[in-house]
């Protein structure tokens, strides 16, 4: 289902870099994000709509390619658009394993600190 012209104009106006800009990566990413959000809501109601799901995956891949391009060209613009649309970068498996291990270590250290504080208070 395509976006209505009023919604499309609103998104373009919000994300354009200069007046009349309709093709910059920022605008394209914002439009794709709007379409992805709408299609995601549709798929929540119509679970077995595999054709729309395939289109959704295609749009997600295109948005990812645009974000990668923008990151290569200008990291600052890329981070700004990611922040505006609320997009979080997926973490790689290695990063998630490291962060899980780090979180466990931090918890252990915090527990030891609490034990030491209790011991100091009782003395």
In this structure, are 64 and 22 located in the same domain? yes
In this structure, are 83 and 98 located in the same domain? no
In this structure, are 18 and 78 located in the same domain? yes
Inform me whether the pLDDT recorded for 28 exceeds 80: yes
Inform me whether the pLDDT recorded for 55 exceeds 80: yes
> At a CB cut-off of 8 Å and minimum separation 6, what does 85 contact?
29, 30, 33
Please report the pLDDT score of residue 91 as a whole number.
47
In this structure, are 26 and 61 located in the same domain? yes
Chain-centroid distance of CA 50 in Å reads 23
* Domain hosting residue 59, numbered range: 5-90
In this structure, are 33 and 58 located in the same domain? yes
Structural domains of the chain, count: 2
Condensed to tens digits (0 to 9), the pLDDT of residues 74-85 reads: 999 999 999 999
């Amino acid at each position: 289902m395509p976006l209505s012209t009023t919604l499309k104009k609103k998104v373009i106006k919000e994300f354009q870099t200069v007046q009349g800009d309709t093709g910059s990566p920022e605008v394209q990413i914002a439009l794709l994000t709007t379409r992805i959000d709408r299609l995601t809501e549709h798929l929540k109601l119509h679970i077995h709509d595999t054709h729309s799901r395939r289109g959704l995956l295609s749009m997600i891949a295109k948005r990812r390619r645009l974000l990668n391009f923008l990151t290569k060209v200008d990291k600052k613009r890329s981070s700004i658009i990611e922040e505006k649309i609320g997009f979080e970068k997926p973490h790689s498996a290695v990063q998630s394993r490291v962060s899980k291990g780090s979180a466990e270590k931090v918890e252990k250290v915090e527990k030891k600190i609490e034990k030491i504080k209790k011991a100091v208070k009782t003395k």
